[in-house]
Amino acid sequence: MIIVLIGPQGSGKGTQAKIISERLNIPHISIGDLFRSLKGKLKKEVDYYINRGELVPDELTINLLKKVISKKECEKGFILDGFPRNINQAKMLQEIVKVDLVILIDIEDELAIKRILSRVSCKKCGAVYNLLTNPPKKEMTCDVCGEMLYKRTDDNIESIKKRLENYYKETEPVLSFYKDKLIVVDGSQEIEKIAEEILKKLGC
């Protein structure tokens, strides 16, 4: 099964993708995480766009995605978190795989901004926390692997506003591209409640 998660920054796509991935036993592919894990010249290139709150060019993004989804562990399906982020990417994806379901996690900008400003992550295992609503047990330390948590450099107010602007301009139109496969969940609810709603809609 191939699932696409769409939603504004801070809607909780990554958190929900992890839960669905465990439940369905299919990999979670976060394009943002893939970009952040790059090294050397390519990292410098993508960081230029990420730090400005802009989308990384489509060709570079799709090439990276193609490499990942050609791996054996993606044979039975995967969850895409952060792709496609524009119509061109949606069309490119359609040429290589058949998407089964698209989930929109919907939230208001005000909540999105509040959440992103209090978001911290673990570089080592990818766990994500919210210092207000879902804090780690020990201050700035990952519950899962014990590594120090960090704040993403692009999680500042200027970048967030730019990213949200891009979301409405570039990503929201993708929803009509997927109108026959789309389900919508209210992302303002608690993590467990959203997960429950999604899993119920998936028949799990």
Token reading at 86: 């524009």
Looking at beta carbons only, is 31 or 194 nearer to ligand AMP? 31
Specify whether the CB–CB gap between 67 and 29 falls below 8 A: no
Residues 5-44: x where in contact with ligand AMP by CB under 6 A, - otherwise, as a string: ----x---------------------xx--x---------
Binding to ligand AMP (CB under 6 A): which residues in 87-126? 89
* DSSP secondary structure code for residue 73 in this structure: G
Told to check if 49 binds ligand AMP by CB under 6 A, we report: yes
Which residues, listed in sequence order, are joined to residue 134 by a DSSP beta bridge? 130
Single out the catalytic residue among 43, 123, 151, 152.
152
Specify whether the CB–CB gap between 42 and 138 falls below 8 A: no
CA atoms of 154 and 203, how far apart (whole Å) = 36
The 3-state DSSP class for residue 204 equals coil
66 C-beta neighbours (distance < 10 Å), count: 13
Active site annotation includes 152: yes
Span interacting with ligand AMP, options 83-91, 96-104, 125-133, 192-200, rule CB under 6 A? 83-91
Binding to ligand AMP (CB under 6 A): which residues in 158-187? 163
Active site annotation includes 13: yes
What is the binding site for ligand AMP (CB under 6 A)?
Answer: 9, 31-32, 35, 49-50, 54-56, 61, 82-83, 85, 89, 154, 163
